Structure 1
Amino acid sequence: MLPFYYFLALLLYIVTLPFLLILSKKSKYIKSVPARFFLKNNSFFKKKCEIWFHGCSFGEIKSITPIIHAINKDVLISTITQTGFNEASKLSVDVKYLPFELFLPFWIKDGVKTLVVLEAELWYMLFFIAKKKGMKTILLNARISDKSYSRYKKFSFFYKKVFENIDIVFAQSEIDKARLLELGAKNIQVIGNIKLAQDIKITEHFKKSDKFTITLASSHEGEEELFLKALKNCDFKDKRVFIVPRHPERFEKVEKLCVEFCFKHSLSFEKFSERKEFLSDIILVDILGELINIYAITDMVILGGSFVKIGGHNPLEPAFFNTIIITGEYIFNQKSTFERVENYYIIKSSELDDVLSNSNIQKFKKSNVLEKIDLSPILKELS
């Protein structure tokens, strides 16, 4: 299978090369694409360390922080996104962008004992080369969402080959375990979502307003318009709103939406980056890494990524602060996480207007994290 797979990777690389060159000029990808697809300033890790973690996103990298602190060993981290790279860089470890699979056979060197890959990063070449180099391979926080399950099943023959090179799987739920077994995974332990083990830390303390504070958190394309439309009947005499887009490249577009809405409805507006007084009716949080600090002064959180078909976002962080949690129907990527949260409301997009204008909004039940998970099975494998 390897020669055929490598040929397909080479063919894909050649076909997409013009697109990659264009993409490498865009601000969002100006560092990641050159590093991953052209190996610009991206040789393998210089230090020989025991454990190599690989995760895709900001959230995945953040979730392994308690594990890295607990094992107290030199580790390496690779990622594929700019936000993931920035978060990993905070941990004072060697960080790299994981190259496209075409380059992995000669990019990965000897010296690492264990490879730990997060969630659904099922790269065939990554696991294959790691095993050839004598590494123990672990898939951590593994999940198969409802949406992606049918796609995985269509290519089950391929994923069986991937799982032949994975020694241990730590799954988020029994449903995930059943699906992973069907795809060929072995040696599976269900431990829950490791994000439950995170220590939620406030990096900057802001004064909580006397007004009822609502935060639209990690919003995606189309959700800000929906949210603002639902706010038109709200009485802002006793309310304040934060809007926190998921992706920084959308800050400017969301700012325009907010300015237009505030002008039309005679409301005040400010950007988080310009001042932190929070005196306006609507505040756009246009800096990454501030969401936890905002949750700490929030009464109600509207979780983004759930009113459009993204799959939802992590409810554990707002639940830690006992906020009222409102989410849309599309939470297929977060089902196991929501099982660990007590008191949250799932609503349709059409109901958002009624919720935000409800005169008894302050009486909604507050959320709570039911339990943290035990990391000891993971730490045992990494010891």
Structure 2
Amino acid sequence: MNFLYYVLATLLYLLALPYLLYLRFKPKYKDSIPARFFLKHNPSFSEGGIWFHACSFGEVRSLSPLIEKIDPSSLRLSVITQTGFHEACKHAKAEVRYLPFEIFLPFWIRKQKVLIVMEAELWPLLFIVAKAKGMRTVLLNARISDHSYASYQRFAWVYRWILSHIDLVLAQSEQDAQRLQHLGAKLVQVSGNIKMFGTYTLSHAYAKAEGKRVVVVASTHEGEEALILSHVNLLPNDQLVVVPRHPERFLNVGLFLSEYAQNQGKRYACLSKQPTLDADVILCDTMGELINLYAIADIVILGGSFVEGVGGHNPLEPAFFGVKLISGASIFNQKVLFEAVENSITCKIEDLKNIFDSIEDYPKSAISHRSDIAPLLEQILGS
């Protein structure tokens, strides 16, 4: 099975080469494609470290509470996306790499003490090669949503094969644990969502304009800005800040917000060119600012929850700052986190207008409980 998969992956790589060469010229992939698929400036890790693998910006950031407890000289971080790479590089003494495409892993991977993989990064050869080189393997923050469980079951034999190479699976909930066991995971323990261990510190403190009510529309996806704003009646003293989830959408969202502001008779600015909050409608087009904006927000509308297929985004971050918190009803990927938040409001898009109009009648959100990270670290390291 392992050899057959390697052959198929090699054939896929060869077939995809023309497309990969095309993609490498797109800004979103200009660093990641050469590094992952051609090993450009992407050497192997030094041996003997503690290796975390995460896909992108959000997953890397959520690992911070664990990473901060580990000797920086032992830290190895691999990622998939460019935004994830830039976030990982903030851990100055860590070795940071893009994870190569699977056919390179048998030659690229060097033995580490443990491999910890975040969530759904189930690359078969990553675990197979790690085990072959004598590493302990851990799947962290594992979950299977209602939305995706049926597809997992259809390919249960594939997941059983992958999970057989994982020593410990740390699931977000009891339901996730049961589903993973059904799919063949050997040792499953419930550890909760790693984001519940997070601490939130500001990288920049924005001055809040006197008399303004700050409304942050956060982590929006394609078409969601227009959908949300068409169901929200802003007050004259409201200051709107929109934060798209993906940086490649900044330009198009900026064009939309500029037109929206003009139609509303409001002033528009983007944060990268005007790093103060002195406009009425603001596009946050820089990464890593969301926490800073939550800190001054009065109302947060969480995106990724009013469109299908995303499953919502992390409510703990805004709840930490006690905002009035609204989310769409599609939160299948964040159920565990929403259970840890008091007074969050979930609604269908057709109900958003009435809720927003009466938002002052709702209590502020709060995190109901937090967890100690020390036991989780012991589970991961096997100590």
Relative to the length of structure 2, the TM-score reads 0.95
> Which amino acid in structure 2 is aligned with residue 270 of structure 1?
A
Distance (Å, rounded) in 1 between the aligned partners of 2:326 and 2:15: 43
Cα deviation for residue 13 of structure 1 reads: 1.2
* Alpha-carbon distance in 2 for matches of 1:113, 1:296: 38
**Segment drifting more, 135-144 vs 11-20:** 11-20
Amino acid at match of 1:370: S
Q: Match for 1:273: what amino acid?
A: S
Structure 2: tracts of 5 or more residues without a match: none
| Equivalent in the alignment of 1:328 | 328
Aligned residue for 1:274? 273
**Residue in 2 that maps onto 1:288:** 287
Q: 2:376 aligns with which of 366, 369, 378?
A: 378
Aligned pairs for 1:1-383 (under 5 A) are 1-45=1-45, 47-72=46-71, 74-92=74-92, 93-110=94-111, 112-209=112-209, 210-231=211-232, 233-235=233-235, 237-309=236-308, 310-356=310-356, 358=357, 360-381=358-379, 382=381, 383=383
Q: How far 1:262 sits from its partner (Å)?
A: 1.3
| 1:71 CA displacement | 2.9
- Encode CA deviations 1:30-74: one digit per residue, 9 max, x unaligned: 1111111111111211x2233111011211111221112213351
Q: Distance in 2 between matches of 1:129 and 1:64?
A: 23
Deviation at 1:338, TM superposition (A): 0.7
> Structure 2 counterpart of 1:163, which letter?
L
Can you give the 5+ residue segments of structure 1 that lack an aligned partner in the other structure? none
SS of residue paired to 1:362: helix
**Identical counterparts, % of pairs:** 50
Alignment TM-score, normalising by the size of structure 1:
0.95
Secondary structure of 1:129's aligned partner: helix
Alpha-carbon deviation of 1:264? 1.5
Residue type of the partner of 1:59? G
What SS does the aligned partner of 1:207 have? coil
Cα contact 2:144–2:179 (8 A) shared by 1: yes
Asked whether the 8 Å contact 1:191–1:373 carries over to 2, the reply is no
Aligned length: 377
**Any idea what the Cα deviations from partners look like across 1:238-257, whole Å, max 9, x if unmatched?**
21110001111111101110
Q: Distance in 2 between matches of 1:145 and 1:286?
A: 30
